[in-house]
Amino acid sequence: LQLENDLRRAIALQEFCVHYQPIVSLSTGQLSGFEALVRWHHASGIIYPPAEFIPVAEETGLINELGWWVLQEACHQIGIWQQQFPHTPPLAINVNLSGVQLKQVNLLNRIEDILQETGIPSYCLKLEITESCILETVSREEKMLKQLKALGIQLCIDDFGTGYSSLSRLHEFPIDTLKIDRSFVSRIGADNCGVEIIQTIVTLARSRGMDIVAEGIETPTQLQKLRELGCELGQGYLFSKPVDSEKATELLGIKV
C-alpha cells in the first residue's frame, strides 16, 4: 500500500523518466531504433527499476496512466530524433504494453491521437507484448490488435520462447517481430540448447515473414553466433545499456 501511494504521488509529480536501449542491425551495427524503458526517480534519490514497481502498477491499474505517459514521451522523443537524424527507414520506437493496458476500451483512439500529436509515422511505433499476455487475450483484445495492425502499427512478441505458446494460437495474431528472450542468448557458449531453440525461432519467424530481435547480447561470441543463425537485429549491453535521452542523442550522432 505504501508503494501504491508512492506511485500515485510519483505520477502526479512526474517522477518518471524514459530510458532508451538501442536496437541495432547485427550485420552493420547501424542503429535501427530504441526500446523505451521506464525508470522511477524517487524523491529519496533512489532510481527504481521497473521490475520493482510495474507489478504494483499493474495490480492497482496505475499502469494505464503511467503507460500513456511513457508512450507519449517515447513517441515525442523519437519524433525529435527522426527530424534531427534523418534515416531510411526512419528510426523506430519500441514501447512495452502490459496486458492490463490491452483491456482499455479507448486504447486504439488514444494511440491514434498520440501518433497525430507527435507526427511520427505509424509504422515507426512497435508495441511489445509478452508472449504470456498474448496468450491470455480475449476476442475483443484480439480484434483491437488487428485494428492497431490495420493502422500500420507493428506488433512484437516480447520474451519469446518463455511463454509456452502453442504455435497454432500464435498464427491467429498479426505479429511482425519476435523478440528472442535473453535467457536463450545468455546460454550461447554455455551449452547447445540455447542455440537450438534460437535456430527453431528463426526458422519459425522466416516461414511467417516475421523479423527477429535477439535480446540481451553481452559478448562478441554471442553476436557472432546470432549472425550465423540469421538474426538481423539485436540489443544488449554489448552495444549499449538503456540510457537517458541525452546519452541516446550522443549515440545517434555516432551510429546512425
Task: Quote the least distance from Cβ 205 to ligand G, whole Å.
Answer: 17
List the alpha helices (DSSP H) in 61-208.
62-84, 99-102, 107-118, 131-135, 139-150, 167-170, 182-185, 193-207
Binding-residue pattern over the window 196 to 215 for Na ion, x denoting contact by CB under 5 A? -------------------x
Task: Quote the least distance from Cβ 184 to ligand G, whole Å.
Answer: 12
Task: Quote the least distance from Cβ 44 to Na ion, whole Å.
Answer: 28
Cβ-in-10-Å burial (0-12, 13-18, 19+) of 69 comes to middle
Q: Is the separation of the CB atoms in 18 and 39 below 8 Å? A: yes
Task: Quote the least distance from Cβ 23 to Na ion, whole Å.
Answer: 12
DSSP state of 180: E
Question: Using CB under 6 A, which residues numbered 129 to 148 contact ligand G?
Answer: none
Lookup: cell for 47: 532510481
For position 35 contacting Na ion by CB under 5 A, the verdict is no
Question: Using CB under 5 A, which residues numbered 137 to 176 contact Na ion?
Answer: 158-159
Lookup: cell for 43: 524523491
Lookup: cell for 230: 540469421
CA 237 to chain centre: 16
The smaller minimum CB distance to ligand G, of residues 141 and 168, is found at: 141
**Residue among 237, 244, 250, 253 that touches ligand G (CB under 6 A):** 237
The smaller minimum CB distance to ligand G, of residues 84 and 214, is found at: 214
**Under rule CB under 6 A, how many of the chain's residues touch ligand G?**
22
Q: Is the separation of the CB atoms in 100 and 63 below 8 Å? A: yes
For position 73 contacting Na ion by CB under 5 A, the verdict is no
**Residue among 29, 49, 61, 119 that touches ligand G (CB under 6 A):** 49
For position 181 contacting Mn ion by CB under 5 A, the verdict is no
Cβ-in-10-Å burial (0-12, 13-18, 19+) of 150 comes to exposed
The smaller minimum CB distance to Na ion, of residues 141 and 158, is found at: 158
CA distances in angstroms from 249 to 36, 80, 82, 109, 253, listed in the order given = 14, 10, 11, 30, 6
Please report, as ranges, the residues that interact with Na ion according to CB under 5 A: 158-159, 215
User: Which residues here bind ligand G, judged by CB under 6 A?
Assistant: 21, 37-38, 49-51, 54, 67, 70, 96, 98, 158-159, 182, 215-218, 235-237, 242
